[in-house]
Structure 1
Amino acid sequence: MLFLTRSGFVLAGLALILGVTVVAGLRQGLLAILGIGFGAVLQGARFGFTTGWRNYIERRDPQGIWAQMLLLALAAALTLPLIARGGGELVGAVAPLTISLVLGAFLFGGAMQLADGCGSGTLYKAGAGAPISFAVLPAFAIGSFLGASHQPAWINLGGLPAVDLNQELGWPLALLLTIAACGAVAWLVGRGARRHQAETGATPAKWAMRWWMGALLLALLYLIHMIVAGQPWGIVYGIGLWGAKVFAALGWSPVGDAFWGAAPHAQRLAEPVLADVTSVTNFGLILGAMAASRWHHPVQFKAPAARTLWVGAVAGLIMGYSARMAFGCNVGAFLGGIASASLHGWIWFALAFAGSIIGVRIRHRLNP
């Protein structure tokens, strides 16, 4: 039975890659492969951005954040020189320092704890069969669609221009500052963990190699994605595009919409969904996570309580909307922004982590 299951996933993966290549070209087929890799690593290593933050907030376990800092440093080291020397063919994830960034990141950080997953977490947990994801993902798509539509108005509230350290300082100094900042965060959370252990007598968390293997593999996939796609790995745009296509099929028109009616977004709506870079990697991610979760044993499905689904749906709606306010989620804004030496990535991290502290407290009240 296990042989049949594995064979089915191999065939499904080949079918996805072949179908995407035939419909949208070789580059998209390669991105489908990378998406499968992202999903397999996220699920196989259980590399959750949301979980890593919550582990530290609840019991001062620093391993998840340490691994994330390693991922950021490696991704920056691998891609900043390429962006600098790419002559415009490779672009980073750079965004302005707006009021919407601050508000959106804070809201996203709180909502992702209630949804038990960020953008990538929602996708890979949907692939793994986590029931709450089936409430979170559709709501996320609706929220992302609406948030994108309102994004220009949010940006017009004001702020500061983007700060691209790679462009301003050159990649060697930008990389040095990025690695130093990642090291500082790692040191701070380690110090917090040691202080917690001294005050409470708690034993240090058991070493989990999965975090470190996940960071190494994700950094490598991130590099390849940058080379193939010409841009950093992203999540949110594709999910929002799915929502926009559903609403368009129901009769909504993008004409006059400040976001979806403007090029190139209107073109993305008119094209097949497989022509979109983020959508293809998202589809592959779901399949990769599905295969990884079932490779050794079948997944046990347990229906969640109705309240859990309602909370997940509301949290997903807020996540999708706030991600557009803040120019991305943990992948697009946090990983992509910091690895691109854009200051907005660090601001996103600080505000989203603050929001996560509140989100964890609300989560405890809802699930005593």
Structure 2
Amino acid sequence: MAETRQSNQVAARTAERAAGAVGAELPPPRLGVALGGSLALVALGYAIVAGHGVQQGILYALGVLLGIALYHARFGFTSAFRQLVAVGQGAGLRAHMLMLAVASVLFAPILAAGVGFFGVEPAGFVAPLGLSVVVGAFIFGIGMQLGGACASGTLFSIGGGQTAILLTLAGFIGGSVLGAWHWDFWTETMPALPPVSLAESTGLGYGGALAVQLAIFAAIAGATVLIARRKNPPPRRPPAAASGVARVIRGAWPLWAGAVVLAGLNAATLLVRGEPWGITSAFALWGSKIAQALGVDVASWSYWSGERAAALQASVLADSTSVMNFGIVFGALLAAAIGGSFALHRRIPPKTAAAAIIGGLLMGYGARLAYGCNIGAYFSGVASFSLHGWLWIAMALIGTYAGLKVRPLFELANPKPTDSSC
């Protein structure tokens, strides 16, 4: 118990330094970390462009920008869900609605035109509505509350030096491989409806679908305000004291800024690669390559048939999702180092480690079942006008409620109405 309390205190102090509480001075930059990270970032970028072309290099650069934005805005999906369900603090979810609204406005003309850069024909993430999404999103919601981060949060937390999240990533990769192995069972034998696009399947068109989604976003944001009035939740931790250029480069960004930047970068991803931003398909690829190297015949799995078969044989640098993931880690590392908040956490209590691994396994498995994670299914799915994205968020919130009940078993604290801030 003492070790856990000490670890929680260290993590809280680190988070406070990273968020930059009002009146506190920003810590000095970690110049050595920034220099080493920059050299590694450039070297990997050169290898990507030299081996796989400019388009892949641009996607890597977009990943770097995503990592910077995620870290500076501390844009959380896990924390937003937890704060809403535990104490009714809806600021995080309102930021999600802004992000989804901006992304939908940007996605609609791109998808309607069907023309992108490098000759690609942009297409959104529209997936079937089935039991696999229900189960997958539910267990993903539990997993992210145990693992301490979602898919995007796992990557930018690793970049920030949070070593415990490496255990979450390991579980994430393992769970993704299990999900790929069981792909047939969930997609072929479980009941499901065909993919439904609000724009293309309903006759609304992209203009009508956009109007419907904007109304839903506004209604959800309004509902969170009403919930907050009833529950009177603790306020969110204040942003950094720095202002102007210093805040942009080193401090914490307001949530609205992170929402707008992430939406813009997702739209840019859609234009450059022809698909929106995703994360967890790369975890399945990495884990399957490892399993294959150990002698497992993963190529015989139906998940690795068709278009995916080539990815299993090619370099990970040829996989656009992988290079964007690498970019996110390096972008977050640079942001953390320049902001002075990069710090390796060397002591991980056993129960925290167990929760991280179990949470990662649940998220990896759930993401495969649900056709994506908080990014591929929720963010990019909803922005693509796919009903499966809406089903995902509903089930992930229910999973979050279940996850909050399980967290105390691993000595993980939940927000309380009496807390001074979230």
- Matched with 1:120 is 152
The aligned counterpart of 1:359 is 403
* Identity over aligned pairs, percent: 39
**Contact 1:17 1:30 survives alignment (8 Å):** no
Show the 5 A alignment for 1:157-172: 157-168=190-201, 169-172=204-207
Task: In structure 2, give the amino acid aligned to 1:187.
Answer: G
Cα offset, 1:55, TM superposition: 1.6
- Give 2:167's match in structure 1, choosing from 135, 144, 155: 135
Deviation at 1:122, TM superposition (A): 1.0
1:296 is the counterpart of 2:339: yes
Root-mean-square deviation over aligned CA pairs: 1.7
Counterparts of 1:294 and 1:361 in 2: how far apart (Å)? 35
Amino acid at match of 1:328: G
- Which deviates more from structure 2 when the two are superposed, residues 341-350 or residues 120-129? 120-129
Where do 5+ consecutive residues of structure 2 fail to align?
Answer: 1-28, 240-252, 414-422
| Counterparts of residues 195-344 of structure 1 (less than 5 Å) | 195-197=230-232, 204-205=235-236, 210-260=254-304, 262-297=305-340, 298-344=342-388
Alignment map for 1:39-50 (pairs within 5 Å): 39-50=67-78
Q: Structure 1 residue 269: deviation in Å?
A: 0.6
**Match status 1:174 vs 2:174:** no
**Other-structure match for 2:86:** 58
Match of 2:227 in 1: 192
Tell me how far apart the structure 1 counterparts of residues 319 and 30 of structure 2 sit (CA, whole Å).
Answer: 34
Structure 1 gaps of 5+ residues are: none
CA deviations over 1:328-367 (Å, ceiling 9, x no partner): 1000000011000011100100000111011012113432
2:238, 2:387 → 1: CA distance? 32
Residues 254, 266 of structure 1: 8 Å contact kept: no
Task: Compute the displacement of 1:146 (Å).
Answer: 1.6
In structure 2, the CA distance between the partners of 1:204 and 1:252, relative to structure 1 (3 Å rule), is closer
CA contact (8 A) 2:351 2:410 kept: no
* Cα displacement (A) at 1:207: 6.2
Amino acid paired to 1:171:
Y
Residues 135-155 of structure 1: CA deviation (Å, up to 9, x unaligned): 111111111112022123202
Structure-2 residue corresponding to 1:83: 111
Q: Summarize the Cα distance change of 1:255–1:329 in structure 2 as closer, same or farther, 3 Å threshold.
A: closer
Question: What letter is aligned with 1:71?
Answer: M
SS at match of 1:259: helix
* 1:150 aligns with one of 182, 190, 210: 182
Partner of 2:128: 96
Counterpart-to-counterpart distance in 1, 2:407 and 2:336: 26
CA distance in structure 2 between the partners assigned to 1:5 and 1:343 by the alignment: 43
Would you say the 8 A contact 1:150–1:258 is kept in 2?
A: no
Find the aligned partners of 1:222 and 1:27 in 2 and give their Cα distance. 15
Q: TM-score by structure 1 length?
A: 0.94
Note the C-alpha offset of 1:252: 1.6
Instruction: In structure 1, give the amino acid aligned to 2:108.
Output: L
**TM-score, normalization: structure 2?**
0.83
How many residue pairs align between the two structures?
363
Alpha-carbon distance in structure 1 between the residues aligned to 2:367 and 2:230: 33
After TM superposition, give the deviation of residue 183 of structure 1 in Å.
1.1
Deviations 1:60-94 (A, max 9, x none): 22110000110011111101211111168101010
Q: Which residue of 2 aligns with 1:105?
A: 137
CA contact under 8 A between 1:31 and 1:228: conserved in structure 2?
A: yes
